[in-house]
């Protein structure tokens, strides 16, 4: 899918729960060590939501953070809420509708389930709604509380994930800014490598679905390294650009080894890579947004910078995009 859209992100906020869980804390629960986790993943700590804190609460906090950063006018005229999550508060209603109600928005609201790249899928949908004229201003959220669905006895998954949320406004931007390409991909053959049951107990091929997240880490690792670099190249080519023109590579924060392998195969210098996996672990649909916000806050990302966003996850699925950053004053 190629689109030269004058639609982009004009505001961004994030949230992580206050509870910090270190590798040492997890080593009290399962047979693991800080050394193993740091060496294999680059993760040192992550944030876990409180028992009574769910995706909707985190989404609302991320939206409040966006208001604090950009001003209260930021929500004026929002006519659609799209919320990406793999951990919705409920199957019905959509978590997006809970957010809509909290802020009393005169807007439609729906959820997107597309695992870790969910927020990027949501951004692509938001951009398409705005481009088509069906919506003017879309509150586009990624919120995941993976800690709620992890198997606390499985060291292979427990150490990887954290909770968090990001909230963005997607709307028209001046010509030349905004999303320059979107690449969306899925390969359902890989469903067996990363999944969790909901209503059914098996996949169509009879593979069992488990009560909590289960993953074949090695298979996902190989897929991730391959797709992070291929999807990056594709998004850059669709934007009619060269890799060297990308100011910052903002990848899904799953594992620093995956990020670094992709960086190396793309021959990108380390200082162009935004990574904070060390402090948050894999926050699923929120991870690209949280990384991007951090690079905005520390002054790395500036008006006019071309960013490459890329994510992957269960499905197996992936998404990438080139976004020219636009600073808007509300």
108-112/80-84 β-pairing: parallel
Beta carbons of 13 and 65 less than 8 angstroms apart: yes
Question: Closest separation between CB of residue 217 and ligand UT7, Å?
Answer: 3
Q: Quick check: 118 binds ligand UT7 (CB under 6 A)?
A: no
**What is the C-alpha separation between 300 and 151, in angstroms, rounded?**
37
7 vs 316 by CB, closer to ligand UT7: 316
List the end-to-end C-alpha distance of the chain, in Å, as a whole number: 31
Beta carbons of 310 and 109 less than 8 angstroms apart: no
Beta carbons of 266 and 249 less than 8 angstroms apart: yes
| Binding span for ligand UT7 by CB under 6 A among 59-67, 104-112, 153-161, 319-327 | 153-161
Element (H, E) at 46: strand 45-48
Q: Quick check: 164 binds ligand UT7 (CB under 6 A)?
A: no
Instruction: Using alpha carbons, select from 156, 223, 214, 159 the residue that is nearest to residue 188.
Output: 223
Answer for which of 156, 203, 209, 305 binds ligand UT7 (CB under 6 A) is 156
172 vs 203 by CB, closer to ligand UT7: 203
Q: Quick check: 224 binds ligand UT7 (CB under 6 A)?
A: yes
SS3 content of the chain, % helix, strand, coil (to 5): 40, 25, 35
Token pair for 148: 């709620």
Concatenated DSSP letters of 147-215 = GGGS-TT-HHHHTTB-EEEEEEEEEE--TT-EEEEEEEEE-GGGGGGEE--SS-SB-TT--B--SS-EE
140 vs 255 by CB, closer to ligand UT7: 255
Q: Quick check: 255 binds ligand UT7 (CB under 6 A)?
A: yes
* 65 counts as catalytic: no
Answer for which of 114, 125, 145, 159 binds ligand UT7 (CB under 6 A) is 159
Binding track, positions 36-75, relative to ligand UT7; x by CB under 6 A: xx--xx----------------------------------
Altogether, the residues listed in the chain come to a count of: 330
**Tokens 């990574």 identify what position?**
275
| Binding span for ligand UT7 by CB under 6 A among 31-39, 99-107, 143-151, 226-234 | 31-39
Enumerate residues 6+ apart whose C-beta is below 8 A from 63.
13, 75, 99, 103, 139, 141, 167
**What is the C-alpha separation between 3 and 15, in angstroms, rounded?**
30
Answer for which of 49, 86, 143, 282 binds ligand UT7 (CB under 6 A) is 282
From 57, 193, 252, 255, the catalytic residue: 252
**Tokens 């080519």 identify what position?**
237
Question: Closest separation between CB of residue 136 and ligand UT7, Å?
Answer: 32
Question: Closest separation between CB of residue 83 and ligand UT7, Å?
Answer: 18
* 116 counts as catalytic: yes
From 23, 65, 255, 282, the catalytic residue: 282
Answer for which of 48, 121, 129, 221 binds ligand UT7 (CB under 6 A) is 221
From 116, 193, 195, 255, the catalytic residue: 116
Residue 260 neighbours by CB distance under 10 Å: 17
> Whose CB is nearest to ligand UT7?
217
Q: Quick check: 142 binds ligand UT7 (CB under 6 A)?
A: no
**Tokens 């209503």 identify what position?**
199
Question: Closest separation between CB of residue 3 and ligand UT7, Å?
Answer: 26
Q: Quick check: 32 binds ligand UT7 (CB under 6 A)?
A: yes
* 252 counts as catalytic: yes
| Binding span for ligand UT7 by CB under 6 A among 46-54, 72-80, 155-163, 293-301 | 155-163
What are the residue numbers of the active site? 116, 252, 282
Interface with ligand UT7 (CB under 6 A): 32, 36-37, 40-41, 116, 155-156, 159, 215, 217-218, 220-221, 224, 254-255, 282, 313
């Amino acid at each position: 899918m190629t689109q030269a859209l004058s639609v982009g992100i004009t505001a961004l906020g994030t949230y992580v729960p206050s509870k910090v869980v270190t590798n040492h804390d997890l080593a009290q629960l399962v047979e693991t060590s800080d050394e193993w986790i740091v060496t294999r993943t680059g993760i040192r700590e992550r944030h876990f939501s409180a028992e009574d804190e769910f995706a909707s609460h985190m989404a609302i906090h991320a939206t409040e953070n966006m208001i604090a950063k950009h001003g209260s006018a930021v929500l004026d005229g929002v006519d659609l809420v799209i919320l990406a999550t793999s951990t919705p508060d409920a199957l019905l209603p959509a978590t997006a509708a809970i957010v809509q109600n909290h802020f009393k928005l005169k807007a439609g609201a729906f959820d997107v389930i597309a695992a870790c790249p969910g927020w990027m899928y949501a951004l692509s949908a938001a951009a398409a709604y705005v481009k088509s004229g069906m919506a003017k201003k879309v509150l586009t959220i990624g919120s995941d509380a993976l800690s709620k669905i992890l198997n606390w006895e499985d060291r292979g998954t427990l150490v990887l994930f954290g909770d968090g949320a990001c909230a963005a406004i997607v709307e028209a931007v001046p010509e030349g800014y905004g999303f320059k390409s979107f690449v969306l991909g899925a390969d359902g053959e890989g469903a067996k490598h990363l999944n969790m049951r909901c209503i059914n107990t098996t996949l169509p091929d009879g593979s069992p679905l488990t009560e909590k997240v289960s993953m074949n880490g090695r298979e996902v690792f190989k897929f991730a390294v391959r797709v992070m670099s291929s999807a990056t190249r594709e998004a850059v080519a669709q934007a009619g650009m060269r890799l060297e023109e990308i100011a910052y590579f903002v990848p899904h924060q799953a594992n620093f080894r995956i990020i670094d392998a992709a960086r190396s195969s793309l021959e990108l210098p380390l200082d162009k890579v935004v990574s904070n996996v060390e402090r948050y672990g894999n926050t699923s649909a929120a991870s690209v947004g949280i990384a991007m916000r951090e690079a905005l806050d520390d002054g790395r990302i500036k008006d006019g910078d071309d960013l490459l966003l890329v994510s992957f996850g269960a499905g197996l699925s992936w998404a990438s995009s080139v976004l020219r950053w636009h600073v808007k004053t509300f």
